[in-house]
A and B are shown apart, each in its own frame.
Chain A
Amino acid sequence: MKAQSRRSRLMAMATALSVAGVLALSACGASDDESSQSTKKALVISLDSAVDVMDPQQWRTPASMVTSGSLVEQVIEQGYSKTGGVQVGGTDFNEALAEKWEYSKDGKTLTITLRDDLTFADGSPLTADDVVWSYQRGLEMATAYTKVLYPMVGLTKDSFIAVDPGTVEVTSEFGTPLLDKMLAMQPFGIFSKKAGEEHATSDDPWAGEWFRENNNSSGPYTVGAFDKTTSVQLTPNAKYYDQDKIANGGVTIQFISDPSQRALLLRNGEIDLAGGLPLDQVAELSKVDGLSVVSEASNRLEYLGLNTGKAPFDDKRVRRAISLALPYQTFVDEVLYGYADPASGLVSQSMETHAADSAAAFKTDLAEAEKLLAEAGVQGFSTTLSYKQSSAVEARAAVYIQSALKDLGIDVQVKPLPDAEFTQRTVARDLEMYLNNFLAWGADPFYQMASLAGSGAGTNFTNYANPALDKLLQQGFRSMEQADRDAISAEAQALLIEEMPTIPLWNPKWTYVVRDGVTGLTKDNTEQLRLQYLSKS
């Protein structure tokens, strides 16, 4: 008996000790590191995705685009107009890495003169060879997304020449304002040719593998710490060509997969900026002290795609009838909590050449719709509406669409698909009716229209092909005079309203929620943040 009680006493003591130890250690926890001595404060932000790839020509997620974009600089940059804490990119451009850039009279040849003494983060000089190598890479590397863009501006692999270490000549088959817009985009940032050649292999001549994980920055930041599962820390690049452009002491992008948790952490002051929040939460956060909502008109378009190759969607009267039955304002108010602009055509309101009268076509007019259906000889029919399962917004919109079309006698079965399957089936172009969204880079109306309705375009899932439209758009690509562009674009927009191959629904606003004192949110023509302008007071 004594033996047993001694043993149990020992056990009790051991337990008590270990519990005390655990408690002591965890109390030991909190360590505050307030180590910013400089006046430029560092920020912590969280976006709608995680960062996995550091290569601006190979990124997969929007957060990767923002991050990889910070590791390169382009030859030119958009000019911004500032309102409050936001800078919005416009249609004119300023020099970045270039000291000057000039077009020939016919607009087909561009001469870029680089600044003196430009270097990469490792100190090696940035010269014309690097520019040529980078542009070549964007076209020829097998895994580069950018290659689809080159034909749109008439660039081929023979277009790029390094005239001398400080001068690059770019020759295109035709002149187009789209070229400037592209050269200012992050994927057209400048890579280090030396680093590329050092890490190239015979299977991988453009060092795609290396640049996915590494960088030799020409941009405002270099990568400090990078934990693929947690966060990426960007520190200001001491070799960046214009230190004054960097308004902060660094940016940490924290990966928080659950949007509600992101909102929670923003509310509690653990992060300074949050993107990709569900809009109902944005609406709520707008009422919270210490937080502000930044919301700007965007060119991103949510549309209802129709399979124009399949009856009854092959008849434009049916398509237009559908467009007249949809509750556009309801989408904005109920589905998007006010954070959107109602449809005004495939070319959005804030894009250049937007025809002011096209918004009128997107109204609800059941009588007209019924008339059109009768004309087309269509009574009622059933169809399936598909969308990506992961989209809560589209799920809600689908319900409104279903009940709106019921009034026309169209029986819509709502069918969410797993994201990968949705992608597969849109590419296969066999979905009847589907919700999808699209953002054209460069804020170029012809690019926008061609991508969504041009024959054979990769993102035109509707099977619509109209040679007349294609011809107009081709003309538009190549026209340099604003008056010409306005006219051609207006004609194309009118044609698209007449034909309605795909129905624009709304333009969701570019929305972020920030802590008060955070400014410098920059919306460029790819609608991603340019991190160097962010600052915190």
Chain B
Amino acid sequence: MTRLAVENLRVEVPGRATILDDVSFDIAPGEIVGLVGESGSGKSMTSLAVMGILPRGVVQTAGRILVDGTDVTSVARRSVAHRFAMIFQNPRDSLNPLMRVGDQVARMVSLHQGKERRAARAAAVDLLEQVRIVEPAQAARKYPHQLSGGMCQRVMIAMALACRPQLLLADEPTTALDVTVQAQILDLVVALTEEIQCSVLLVTHDLGVVAETCDRVNVLNQGRLVETGETHDVLSNPTHEYTRYLLDSARELEVGP
């Protein structure tokens, strides 16, 4: 049984623009699947659609989203109902600047695990330790602006873990971080999701990241899925010219003109 199946997803701003057109893909339990494309391809919107939190004015007009076979297209608060979690591109902006990070994680623990305050706080500290933050008790008392980008992302991952997620949507999780930190975070995500048998949808424009972490990859171009397949297949033998274009651009960056 697939963990996540997206069927013929159509997302648009009614009367104005089509953002996603007939997008279909699936993710098996424990799999890490990549979703690549340039900016504006609609990849972030895909993860938002799966999560059920499309912004105001943007609507899913066709298609279904199935989790373990169940149609969740009309379910609100899917995160709680089906144990989704999401981490975002700008980790510091994604945290509440007026709350200590430990409390923010604890809030998710309360929400998803039903624990009372004190227990939730203790669990939060544990989670912070799990995401390899040193001196987690001290860190829990800090505010987001006092932490580095990498630390903030770890906190977000801890929040995700609080959901005991079956599916983690990671929307460009390392793009805004320093190169040295990027690898650490990626390794962390891979390790943790493996531990808990969580599927991952990794949205990124960075083919290098895909190559390193994803089992399979989907290529999105202007709202349409143009290629899908095992990672090493797609990357070494792209069938669609857009995929080839992406690969060429990536190589140029690496090697130089």
A and B touch in the complex (CB under 8 A): yes
State A2–B116 Cα separation when bound (angstroms): 8
Closest Cβ neighbor of A2 among chain B residues: B116
B130 to chain A, nearest CB (A): 24
Which chain A residues lie closer than 8 Å to B116 at the CB level? 2-3
Query: Chain B 113-142, CB within 8 Å of chain A: the 1/0 string?
Result: 010110000000000000000000000000
Q: Which residue of B lies closest to A4 (CB)?
A: B110
Whether B117 pairs with A1 at a CB distance below 8 angstroms is no
Whole-angstrom distance between the alpha carbons of A3 and B110 in the complex?
Answer: 9
CB of B62 closer than 8 Å to a CB of A: no
CB contacts (< 8 Å) of B110 on chain A: these are 1, 3
Cβ–Cβ < 8 Å partners of A2 in chain B: 116
**What mask results when residues 131 to 144 of chain A are scored 1 for a CB within 8 Å of chain B, else 0?**
00000000000000
Chain A, interface residues (CB within 8 Å), range: under 10
CA–CA, A3 to B117, complex, Å?
8
How long is the Cα–Cα vector from A243 to B13 in the complex, in angstroms? 91
Which residues from chain A contact B117 at a C-beta distance below 8 Å?
3
Chain B residues within an 8 Å CB radius of A3:
110, 116-117
Assess whether B75 is interfacial by the CB under 8 Å rule: no
Per-position contact with A for B169-213: 1 when CB-CB < 8 Å, else 0? Answer: 000000000000000000000000000000000000000000000
Interface check B76, CB cutoff 8 A: no
Point out the residues of chain A lying under 8 angstroms from B114, CB to CB: 1
B-contact 0/1 string along A1-18, CB 8 Å cutoff = 111000000000000000
- The CA of A1 and the CA of B108, in the complex, are separated in Å by 10
A2 to B117, CA, bound (A): 10
Contacts of A1 in B (CB 8 A): 110-111, 114
The closest CB in chain A to the CB of B114 belongs to A1
Render B95-116 as a binary contact track against A, CB cut-off 8 A, 1 for contact.
Answer: 0000000000000001100101
- A40–B110 CA distance with the chains assembled, in angstroms: 76
Smallest distance from the beta carbon of A1 to chain B beta carbons, Å? 7
Q: How far is the CA of A1 from the CA of B110 in the complex (A)?
A: 7
Complex Cα distance, B117 from A1, in Å, reads: 10
Docked pose: A1 CA to B80 CA in angstroms: 13
Q: Mark A447-469, 1 if CB is under 8 A from B, else 0.
A: 00000000000000000000000
Closest to A3 in B: B117
Distance of A341 Cα from B114 Cα, bound (Å): 90
A4 to chain B, nearest CB (A): 9
* Proximity string of chain A (294-327) to chain B, C-beta cutoff 8 Å, 1 when within and 0 when not: 0000000000000000000000000000000000
Complex CA distance for A3 and B115, rounded to whole angstroms: 10
Q: State which residues 130-175 of A face B: CB under 8 Å.
A: none
Q: How far, in whole Å, are A1 and B120 apart by their CA atoms in the complex?
A: 12
Contact residues of A between 221 and 236, Cβ < 8 Å to B:
none
Q: Taking the nearest CB of chain B, how far is it from the CB of A10, in angstroms?
A: 15
Residues 33-69 of A at the B interface (beta carbon under 8 Å):
none
Chain B 30-44 interface residues, beta-carbon cutoff 8 Å to A: none
Q: Nearest Cβ in chain B — how far from A6, in angstroms?
A: 11
With A and B bound together, what is the CA distance between A1 and B114 in angstroms? Answer: 7
B225 to chain A, nearest CB (A): 39
User: Which A-chain residue is minimally distant from B111 (CB atoms)?
Assistant: A1
Cα–Cα, bound, A3→B116 (Å): 7
* Smallest beta-carbon distance B119→chain A, Å: 11
Give the distance in Å from the alpha carbon of A452 to the alpha carbon of B114 in the complex: 93
Q: How far is the CA of A3 from the CA of B118 in the complex (A)?
A: 11
C-alpha spacing A2/B114, complex, angstroms:
9
Bound complex: CA A1 to CA B116 (Å): 8
Binary contact readout A80-99 vs B (1 if CB under 8 angstroms, 0 otherwise)? 00000000000000000000
Binary interface encoding of chain B residues 146-188 relative to chain A, with 1 for a CB under 8 A from any of its CBs, else 0: 0000000000000000000000000000000000000000000
Bound form: Cα–Cα A192–B116 in Å:
81
Closest CB in chain A relative to B137 CB, distance in Å: 21
Bound Cα distance from A454 to B111, whole angstroms: 94
Residue interface bits A275-294, CB-to-B below 8 A is 1, else 0:
00000000000000000000
Which residues on the A side are within 8 Å of B111 (C-beta)? 1
CA distance A167 to B176 in the complex (A): 105
A450 to B110, CA, bound (A): 94
Q: How far is the CA of A481 from the CA of B114 in the complex (A)?
A: 110
Smallest beta-carbon distance A493→chain B, Å: 85
A31 to B70, CA, bound (A): 70
In the assembled complex, the Cα of A103 lies from the Cα of B114 at a distance in Å of: 107
Chain A nearest CB from B102 CB (Å) reads: 16
Minimal beta-carbon separation of A7 from chain B (angstroms): 11
- A1 to B77 alpha-carbon distance, docked (Å): 14
**A1–B112 Cα gap in the complex (Å)?**
10
- Compute how far the CA of A477 lies from the CA of B204 in the bound complex, rounded to whole angstroms: 109
A61 to B110, CA, bound (A): 72
Q: Which residue of A lies closest to B117 (CB)?
A: A3
* Bound-complex Cα distance A1 to B107 (A): 9
The chain A residue sitting closest to B120, CB to CB, is A3
Question: A3–B114 Cα gap in the complex (Å)?
Answer: 10
The complex places the Cα of A246 from the Cα of B111 at a distance, in Å, of 81
Closest Cβ of chain B: how far from A363's Cβ, in Å?
80
Would you list which residues of chain A between 427 and 478 have a CB under 8 Å from chain B? Answer: none
Q: Give, as a whole number of angstroms, the nearest-CB distance from B153 to chain A.
A: 27
Rounded to whole Å, the gap between the CB of A410 and the closest CB of chain B is 70
A3 to B119, alpha carbons, bound, how many Å?
A: 12
Min CB gap B108→A, angstroms: 12
How far is B257's CA from A63's CA once the two chains are assembled, in angstroms? 96
Question: C-beta contact mask, B24-64 vs A, less than 8 Å → 1, else 0?
Answer: 00000000000000000000000000000000000000000
Bound-state Cα–Cα, A139 to B72, Å: 100
Chain B nearest CB from A3 CB (Å) reads 6
Nearest-neighbour CB distance to chain B for A167, whole angstroms, equals 87
Cβ of B123 to closest chain A Cβ, rounded Å: 14
A379 to nearest B CB, angstroms? 76
Type the 1/0 row for B9-25, where 1 means its CB is closer than 8 Å to any CB of A. Answer: 00000000000000000
How far is the CB of B118 from the nearest CB of chain A, in Å?
10
Nearest CB of A to B190, in Å: 32
Question: Nearest Cβ in chain A — how far from B139, in angstroms?
Answer: 23
A2 to B111, CA, bound (A): 10
A468-505 CB contacts (< 8 Å) to partner B: none
Q: How far is the CA of A52 from the CA of B79 in the complex (A)?
A: 73
A194 to B56, CA, bound (A): 85
User: Hey, which bits of chain A sit against chain B, CB under 8 A?
Assistant: 1-3
Enumerate 7 A-B pairs (CB-CB under 8 Å) in ascending A order.
Answer: A1-B110, A1-B111, A1-B114, A2-B116, A3-B110, A3-B116, A3-B117
Q: B residues touching A (Cβ–Cβ < 8 Å)?
A: 110-111, 114, 116-117
The 5 closest A-B pairs by CB, nearest first: A3-B117, A1-B110, A1-B111, A3-B116, A3-B110
